[in-house]
Structure 1
Amino acid sequence: MNGPLIVQSDRTVLLEVAHPQAADARHELAVFAELERAPEHVHTYRITRLGLWNARAAGHAAEAMIDTLERYAKFPVPQSVSVDIRDTVARYGRLTIEREDRADAPAIANSPQEALEQLPTLVLTASDPALLAEVTRSKRIAPLLGARRSETAIELLPWARGQIKQELVKIGWPAEDLAGYTPGQPHDIALDESEWHLRDYQRAAVDSFFAQGSGVVVLPCGAGKTLVGAGAMATAKATTLILVTNTVSARQWRDELLRRTSLTPDEIGEYSGTVKEIRPVTIATYQILTAKRKGVYTHLSLLDALDWGLIVYDEVHLLPAPVFKLTADLQARRRLGLTATLVREDGREGDVFSLIGPKRFDAPWKEIEAQGYISPAACYEVRIDLPHSDRLEYAASSDDDRYRLAATSPAKTPVVRDLIAKHPGEQVLVIGQYIDQLDDLAAQLDAPEITGATPVDERERLYQAFRTGEIDVLVVSKVANFSVDLPDATVAIQVSGSFGSRQEEAQRLGRLLRPNKDGVPASFYTLVTRDTVDQDFAQNRQRFLAEQGYAYTILDADALAAA
């Protein structure tokens, strides 16, 4: 045994980065473990219950996970870890939710009571009486239950399908939902594959999703998550509600569906702050769905406007908290979550698992890169000294002010200029968090700027000018993090971010991974102020990408300027 892994009894796993087998071990470990820390030489992973259940739901067996640890271990794997993995994985599926249609239900509901009688009976079934007794004793689960059927089966209240899955995950007994889904209102949708075809992994993602009914597909930015959504729609052939992060994303979804499917403009509606269209395929923003007036969700009726056969959640890791509550009532409809990362900064991965569904398909970034479908990328962390004149102010500032002071240091501006000069003729994105910093950079670089205040039509005009090469440097705020198609961007310079957000780091690198027409490798620079909280947050931000196999090369700003 001389592998790159040290498996510890507290379920942490240490990966020796320089070991010749490190890349293979990381690839297999990422299936069921989450990277916690990623310094230069030894990365720390943690095996969690949710990670094991997601792996099991995606088709990975406990023995395969244990085999990964044993094959790459430097020392014997503690027996307690192997036992824990087997026991935890075995918990998934010991509780199931199944449906019984009511043969005596009235064909047409003439009253709320008759409508309730039309609902199928949901039954929670346990593998043994002791397990059912354990979960039914929970004070949060008992109010969701109906009549006892047997020692191993009990009815659920008709509306409780989503809520009970949430509660069962919290107490460590995830239920496998086998209750099926309403087909929804039929609507003919076909893929137009005359000039393109779904890639093998995209087809596998669609097939895996439909084999299970609902859940999450995890693919790198640029790997075609929208096409997986289109493939799912063509398989469902039903009215579809698509929820997206912003209006620009909504219009890009619309354009892609018109280009890739048989849908016509009259069949696709936009439901946003400016337009309220309900069509067989309706694309709505999360913001409009969560908008309140006098404490009431005013657009909640959209969820029942049509008999949706499929609901697609784009960038599911950004799902606003109120949408979880609304989704709990949509468990009879097929739900497809699309994301590049299941990491949520609010820690609500368990709600994605229980309400949208488990991970059904996951293609590692480096695997898709090796197939040539996303661009190779080099990541750099450029370290900058805080000017002496700002050091005393930094030392005397509060924690919140310290990050802003370090992240927006004027010393970053000449470095941005030097980096742009290193990449003549390439398309460069300058990305940041703070608007005053971006305003100053746009003025210094004489480059156009896109922020949340930029009108949607102007955003689309500038994005299109960037795509055509009319603009080669674009300064953007966090509005460009998500679902923006800029395939010719080959350089990103990140000057500031949302503190230690791992998913934001992944999304920003993702702006560069769509293959460009010249085949130029991508360069991702993060400007970090040395010996400040800016550097501390940068290390946390890089964790997810390190898990995917991306290494950051450390550069010194002074040496860069002299080169």
Structure 2
Amino acid sequence: MTDASVRLTFEGGTVRVDAPRDLLETLPDVEYDPRTETGRTPGFRYATLRAALAEHDVEVEDRVLALSDLPALRSAYELREYQHEALDAWRDAGQRGVLELPTGSGKTVIALKAIEALSIPTLIVVPTIDLLDQWERELGTEFDVDLGRLGGGEQRVEPITVSTYDSAYLRADELGDRFELVIFDEVHHLGGEGFRDIGRLLAAPARLGLTATFERPDGAHEVVEELVGPVVYRLSAEDLAGDHLAAFDIKRIEVALTPEERERYEEFQGTFTDYLAQSGIQMRSGSDYREIVKRSGNDPAAREALLAKQRAREVMMNAEGKVEELAGILDRHRGDRVIVFTAYTDLVYRLSERFLIPAITHEVPKVQARRRILEKFRRGEYSRIVSSHVLDEGVDVPDANVAVILGGSGSEREFKQRLGRVLRPKAEGERAILYEIIAEETAEERVAERRRG
């Protein structure tokens, strides 16, 4: 090692700095150790140390983090506007800081999207076994990777690991170089004596704290600010009152058409787009579609184009991949109250027969019959039902906590009506879920994107 080089290594919760003494004396929070003639700083100062070294014209040999490889991660959750703002605020703050948001605002979803965005080894620290179990389930549902667990009788470390504060406290000096991102759920706990050592000993440069109540009566939130960062985004329950605090999350899942479905879809869709090219119609608004309908009265080509468009829509709406995805969702939510929406009556009956789910369509002969099914759903005799558009308006639908949309229009009104069916979590502090299953690389995907616009 030359006088103009620096070597960084991790040792028991600290970063050892091998460098000339005159350089060590310029680095913030680095203490000189005369026995080894090296410098040393707490693990949590690693990011600050790297930033300080960047100001010097020195070569840095960085051996602090011993990270395992992770594939690119992807979560099906979609963020609301304020959740986007919170995540952006954290990233703009150098991927350090605390989000203070009320219960029911979806802090966990924001954290999952942070993990997805960075796709780096991550440690999640939680205060209770119940939260340990919940996080493990969520992580397992969202990410197709092996998960570590520290707590509840298990001590298993993987690139993505969830731990109790107690277990993290016992092993922080040992594991401090294994993670690049650490997420502290209920981060105010980190201010407690002992637990604050978790934050000190970990070298993870990216740090995210989640809480509904950041400030502590004992003032220990100032310690949390030092270890994790300040509050970078804050909203109260009053700020989110009304539409914004509806206790549900949206998970968008894309499925592929089978080769046979793809061939049929492209054939039908091609007939429609060929007609558009020949007729000069660009489909920029609903009036363009109405023009094709008007022409179809005396133009065989227009009539054929409309029929082809309808058949292409049937292919993507009834895709086998959607049915298989629904099977997995129903299996995961065996204990929940589920409503499945489709656009086609035939698909309603197909799902009803396959999954033994009561069906409600406009073909159910009497209003009284539909009411009997809904009443049994309300009483819990049925835990799931499948329906077409008949439930969209004017029907008193019992509370559900999971809804699945297997196709429909891009109408914002229709989408919000269906969301309204899942705004009743099973218990306080939980959130309902709406799954939107989309056929990828189809017009359905584009329409859904426009609706989110």
Q: Normalising by the residue count of structure 2, what TM-score does the alignment of the two structures yield?
A: 0.44
Higher-Rg structure is: 2
Q: Normalising by the residue count of structure 1, what TM-score does the alignment of the two structures yield?
A: 0.37
